Structure 1
């Protein structure tokens, strides 16, 4: 998959993708595990620049996890892990690599009683 672009999706697809729950822990709903997904991003940016918002830097990789969950017809990616590596090239330019992975789950209906 190449670079993600929200404009590659219809408004309805973007809405569905953004409805996917991302969680670094579990969710309090019954679910079935569909798969494990991975996403990465490499950005030429200085993580320590005061004008850089780290939350904005996670937006693309988070969206990719959500996008992959939609392809499974799932509802969430749980137990997400985000890791990064901040590097400085010999010419002084800096870049950031972000790695993310999680478990894709699909919520299931449960009935209490019988």
Structure 2
């Protein structure tokens, strides 16, 4: 992530802004302009299918990356997100590699009248 936009914010302000950014695997029912297509990756040593593993936590790294990228664009959402995962051997250990991508959008204001 580029430095700059987040530097002037407290940790709490940054977290509040990131939490307001929408991630969606589909489209959204709002008018928007497309800013860019973005990508995120992560590699985690875990058994994704173990009953002791929370899949949401495994994917949280790429979720956050997508939101941070949207924040840098001063955008509101990343839509049509796709997530792929695969197990690979990496440095002698089995890991889950996650690849994610989506479209960064900025909602547009509409007025009637």
Superposition TM-score, scaled by structure 1 size: 0.84
Residues 1:95 and 2:99 are matched in the alignment: no
Secondary structure in 2 aligned to 1:103?
strand
What are structure 1's unaligned runs of at least 5 residues? 2-8
Which segments of structure 1 move beyond 4 Å, counting only runs of 4 or more? 88-91
CA shift digits 1:2-60 (9 cap, x unpaired): xxxxxxx6210111011100000100000000001100000111122221111111111
CA distance in 2 between partners of 1:20 and 1:67 (Å): 9
CA distance in 1 between partners of 2:72 and 2:96 (Å): 27
The answer as to whether partners of 1:47 and 1:86 remain within 8 angstroms in 2 is: no
Residues 1:65 and 2:66 are matched in the alignment: yes
Residues 1:78 and 2:62 are matched in the alignment: no
The answer as to whether partners of 1:41 and 1:61 remain within 8 angstroms in 2 is: yes
Match of 2:111? 111
CA distance in 2 between partners of 1:65 and 1:21 (Å): 10
How many residue pairs get matched?
A: 105
What are structure 2's unaligned runs of at least 5 residues? 2-9
Residues 22/81 of structure 1: CA separation in 2 closer, same or farther (3 Å cut): same
